[in-house]
Structure 1
Amino acid sequence: MKKVFIAGFTGAMGQKAVQLVMEDPAYQLVGVLAPGASNPDPQVYHLAPTTKVYNQLAQVDIKADIWLDFTVPQAVFANTQFALQQHMHPVVGTSGLQTEQIKTLQELAQQQGIGGIIVPNFGLSAVLLMKFAQEAAQYFPDAEIIELHHADKQDAPSGTAISTAQLIAEQRQSPKPASPLHETLPHVRGGDYQGIKIHSVRLPGYVAHEEVLFGGPGEALTIRQDSFDRQSFMKGVKLALDQVMDLTELVVGLEKIL
């Protein structure tokens, strides 16, 4: 039985993850962390009596095999560092890690001799979108990305959008330089990742959606994925939990273990 620790257990994804782990006989939920968890009694949160509850990272004193992180961008780097230092295999579902932070964590994982996975998106449809977009970039170097998420998402653009842009940039030939443009409204063209424009939408009613638009002479290609319910991500979470302890390095992307 693999021992699992969940950081950010009170959030929407954290609650789904708690349910997944508690219902699967292959796992034991040994501890949870959330800043708002002021009551140390696990039964207040409908957890097993043996589950330890923490509200500060500095308090965490527990042995676990896997650290599952669904927190916030401001906390995820320190959390993942801690997990690696404590020899817990991190499964990171929190977006917001910067490229240099990921490199630092990968070096630490190598030093500690432990593997883990950073997952921009647990939705299988999102993983396939990134794969298809990477293939399309060989033929359509001109692309833009629109990502749409719920109003409470705390970072922009999404980790999935950044990962998609990175894959497109790696695969495509250099596009033609864009014509000079005068923006009558500042930043109306969105963010820029190596010439790929990214547009972020944050509105009530949405969960997680992404659209990649490719344009070429006389034709266009649109690839889109939609996640309508957070439960759809649990298949990817289960896949990561099942395989993370077999990894020998810290990898990025669910496709690395598909």
Structure 2
Amino acid sequence: MSINVIIAGPRGKMGSEAIQMVTNEPNFELVACVDRINNGKTLQDIDGLPDLAVPIFEDINECFEKIQADVFIDLTVPKAAFEHAKQALNHQVRPIIGTSGLTDEQLEVLRQIAKEVKTGCVVAPNFAVGAVLMMQFAKMAAKHFPDVEIIEKHHDQKLDAPSGSAVKTAQLIKETREAKHQGHPKEEETIAGARGAEMDGMHIHSVRLPGLVAHQEVLFGGSGQTLTIKHDSYNRESFMAGIKFAINKVINLDEFVYGLENILE
């Protein structure tokens, strides 16, 4: 069975990588793209994009009304991704959202719409399978090592900090770790923010530099020992296997799923 796919943000680094993945898969069909410019053009009209007669729409509602699609992929920015996902669900097109930075309230809205229209939706802070495993291992370790800090590093064009992956990691750790204050009880920041953000007593540090893609370390400390769980994405191709997996899974879903780990076998 061929799965018809629409991709938002074709000119972005993640979007262009997703286009390459979708067009290389024999059971996927790229049927349209959504872009904030270039309405009425096709991919072959845009420099640097594949020579394909795939239509581009600026208005996502027009796209869903004119194009028959099964899955919608959004790898753009949080504000656009949230609005796009709502419209996709209302047209019973299954959204896959790989944009981090959505709020808990926005995630709940998508959950409710998916439930009402009985349409699958997958939102994942990270589609790299190795990163998902890193989060699960950190959750396991936190039961035995309650003292933990997270360092996440991303390229300098990333809008949200901390990353969705870091927040998701902390949320998973909270499931097995009791909240505790870490460090010296009289600890004082001589420069504000030196200890990073704090969640449930854990400290989360964000690094933004050119040359980075997506990297995270979860550091655990115990008596006489430390444990570091680390994952690195060196290019955006690392996320494509997870997105491919999600496309094949969301077709058979009728509900909202947050986190790739919840659909991995």
Of 177, 186, 194, which residue of structure 1 is paired with 2:192? 186
For 1:188 and 1:68, the matched residues in 2 are separated by 37
- Normalised by the length of structure 2, the TM-score is 0.92
Deviations 1:194-246 (A, max 9, x none): 22111111101111100001112222111111111111111111111111111
2:219–2:226 Cα contact (<8 Å) kept:
yes
Bigger mean CA deviation after superposition, 118-127 or 170-179:
170-179
Question: Which residue in 2 is equivalent to 1:42?
Answer: 43
Match of residue 7 from structure 1: 8
Q: Is the 8 A contact 2:147 2:182 kept in 1?
A: no
Q: Distance in 2 between matches of 1:193 and 1:39?
A: 46
Question: Which secondary structure does the structure 2 equivalent of 1:246 belong to?
Answer: coil
In terms of mean alpha carbon deviation, does 102-111 or 248-257 score higher?
248-257
Matches within 5 A, 1:200-211: 200-211=206-217
Of 213, 216, 219, which aligns to 2:222? 216
1:229 matched to 2:232? The reply is no
Does structure 1 retain, via aligned residues, the 8 Å contact 2:179–2:200?
no
Q: Distance in 2 between matches of 1:180 and 1:59?
A: 58
The secondary structure found in structure 1 opposite 2:4 is strand
Moved more, 52-61 or 211-220: 52-61
Match of 1:173 in 2: 178
Please say if residues 116 and 245 of structure 1, whose CA atoms lie closer than 8 Å, have aligned partners that are also in contact.
no
Residue of structure 1 equivalent to 2:17? 16
Secondary structure of 2:237's counterpart equals helix
Q: TM-score, normalised by structure 1?
A: 0.95
Kept in 2, the 8 Å contact 1:149–1:203? The answer is yes
Q: Which of 58, 64, 75 is the aligned partner of 2:80?
A: 75
Aligned residue type for 2:26: P
Q: Distance in 1 between matches of 2:147 and 2:255?
A: 34
Q: Deviations over 1:51-97 (max 9, x none)?
A: 22012435433321001011112211111111111101111111111
| Structure-1 separation of matches of 2:125 and 2:135 | 11
Corresponding residue SS for 1:181: coil
Classify the secondary structure of the residue corresponding to 2:175: helix
Deviation at 1:254, TM superposition (A): 1.1
On the 8 A contact 1:143/1:213 being kept in 2, the answer is yes
Q: Answer yes or no: is 1:254 the counterpart of 2:257.
A: no
| 1:111 positional shift | 0.3
Equivalent position amino acid for 1:196 in 2: M
Count of residues in Structure 1 that have an aligned counterpart in Structure 2: 257
Contact 1:146/1:200 (8 A) holds in 2: yes
- 3-state SS of 1:81 partner: helix
Please give the alpha-carbon distance, in whole angstroms, between the structure 2 residues aligned to 1:24 and 1:163.
30
Percent of aligned pairs with the same residue? 44
Corresponding residue number in structure 2 for 1:122: 127
Counterpart of 1:154 in structure 2 is 159
Which of 55, 60, 74 is the equivalent residue of 2:58?
A: 55
Q: Distance in 2 between matches of 1:222 and 1:42?
A: 44
Shift of 1:180: 2.7
**Is 1:65 aligned with 2:66?**
no
